[in-house]
Amino acid sequence: MQRPLDQHTALIFTMILISAAEGDMADAESDTIGRIVRDLPVFHDFDAERLPEVWRQCSQLLYDLLRQDDGADVACEMIAEGLHQKLRETAYLLAFEVAAADRSLAPEERNLLEILRQRLNVDRLAAAAIEHTTYVRHAVV
């Protein structure tokens, strides 16, 4: 069994997991992850120079997990176990932000977001508010 994820790794793993839902990571998703790690207060004490190393570790873990039948569920459970309760809505927000980065949500992303929402015990109303706000932020003219 894998050791528990620390807070930052769990958040980064969340973003990488959702970006891999369709099978390959879009440039917009990758850029969004980098921007989030650089700019959001939740990562203020994370050394951004470590991002490539953490990214590599998370990608390898994800590859190993997704070879299992219940790999996505196990990944979401690992994320939930690695996060304090107060960061679970933040993790859902980050996942949705990455999923919406390319301005579309594939069915695979929607399914994974629902599994993640359930594992993180994010209330449906809170999730709806996060989703609506993210859609509004990504609107274009």
Q: Which amino acid is at 100?
A: A
Convert the pLDDT of each residue in 22-80 to its tens digit. Answer: 777 778 888 999 999 999 999 999 998 999 999 999 999 888 888 888 888 999 999 99
Q: What is the DSSP string of 47-105?
A: -GGGHHHHHHHHHHHHHHHHTSTTHHHHHHHHHHHHS-GGGHHHHHHHHHHHHGGGS--
Q: Which pLDDT belongs to residue 2?
A: 62
Residue 138, classed as helix, strand or coil, is coil
Domain 7-137 has CATH 1.10.3680: yes
Q: Which amino acid is at 5?
A: L
67 token code pair: 């070879």
- In a 13 Å sphere around the CA of 50, the CA atoms on its Cβ side amount to 11
Does 141 have pLDDT greater than 70?
A: yes
Check: pTM over 0.85? Answer yes or no.
yes
Question: Which is it for the CA torsion 87, 90, 95, 101, positive or negative?
Answer: negative
Give residue limits of the domains in the chain.
7-137
